[in-house]
């Protein structure tokens, strides 16, 4: 089995980076071996990359359901646990319960959405990572893993497309 190397190519803009992704595919690299890092949200469509999977919407839905159930407990469970009739009002009033259900559902959904970003992005993560600070200055970097025998061809192709630098991807403290 051939040795795999990790490389980080830095491009000045999105267009050459998008072409570079195509070129790497032509070199025989799989989409899973390529990751684009940028200082602005560059969509999959711009790069011609497969759609990224995100659990955030599902987690948000799960959070909403959990929040709703907690709201149900507050609105209907707590008066059942310790019934107190206040001013002749019903123990399980409809409209006032809607308020509690709404607030708890929204709270559950938003907290789950927030935590979803942390879970899906594996935040916080302070271990060293492959990165160059020029990325936050507007450069677009392509981090890719390729068999050593394809390395030369990939490097030549990426330089031809306008790569400013291609270097072995070394993890560094951010």
Instruction: List interacting residues with other proteins (CB under 8 A).
Output: 35-44, 46-47, 49, 52, 54, 56-57, 60, 74-75, 78-79, 81-82, 84, 86, 89, 93, 96-97, 99-100, 102-104, 106-107, 109-111, 113-114, 116-118, 120-127, 129, 131, 133, 135-138, 143, 174
Please report how close the Cβ of residue 141 comes to other proteins at its closest, in angstroms. Answer: 8
d(C-alpha 106, C-alpha 111), whole Å: 8
Nearer to other proteins, 1 or 173 (CB): 173
- Dihedral (C-alpha) 73, 76, 80, 85: value to the nearest 10 degrees? 140
Taking the least distance from each CB to other proteins, the nearer of 117 and 160 is 117
Which of 72, 76, 73, 68 lies closest to 104 in space, CA to CA? 68
C-alpha to C-alpha distance for 83 and 2, rounded to whole angstroms: 72
CB of 131 to other proteins, least distance (A): 5
Q: How many CB atoms lie within 10 A of CB 72?
A: 15
Quote the least distance from Cβ 84 to other proteins, whole Å. 7
Cβ proximity to other proteins, 1 vs 83, nearer residue: 83
Task: Report the alpha-carbon distance of residue 108 to residue 152 in Å, rounded.
Answer: 51
Nearer to other proteins, 47 or 146 (CB): 47
Q: Where are the beta strands (DSSP E) in the chain?
A: 4-11, 34-38, 129-130, 140-147, 165-168, 171-172
Q: How far is the CB of 1 from other proteins (least distance, A)?
A: 27
27 versus 109: smaller Cβ distance to other proteins: 109
**CB of residue 100 to other proteins, shortest distance in Å:** 5
Whether residue 91 contacts residue 79, with contact meaning beta carbons closer than 8 Å, is answered with yes
């Amino acid at each position: 089995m051939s040795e795999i190397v990790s490389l980080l190519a830095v491009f000045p803009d999105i267009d050459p980076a998008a072409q570079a992704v195509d070129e790497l595919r032509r070199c025989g690299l799989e989409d899973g071996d390529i990751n684009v890092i940028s200082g602005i949200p560059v969509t999959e469509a711009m790069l011609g990359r497969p759609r990224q999977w995100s659990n955030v919407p599902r987690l948000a839905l799960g959070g909403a359901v959990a929040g709703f159930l907690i709201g149900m407990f507050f609105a209907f469970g707590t008066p059942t646990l310790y019934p107190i009739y206040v001013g002749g009002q019903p123990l399980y009033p409809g409209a006032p319960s809607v308020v509690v259900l709404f607030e708890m559902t929204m709270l559950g959904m938003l907290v789950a959405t927030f935590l979803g970003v942390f879970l899906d992005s594996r935040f916080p993560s302070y271990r060293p990572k492959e990165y160059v600070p020029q990325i936050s200055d507007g450069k677009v970097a392509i981090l890719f893993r390729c068999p050593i025998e394809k390395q030369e061809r990939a490097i030549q192709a990426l330089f031809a497309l306008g790569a400013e630098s291609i270097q072995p991807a070394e993890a560094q403290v951010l």
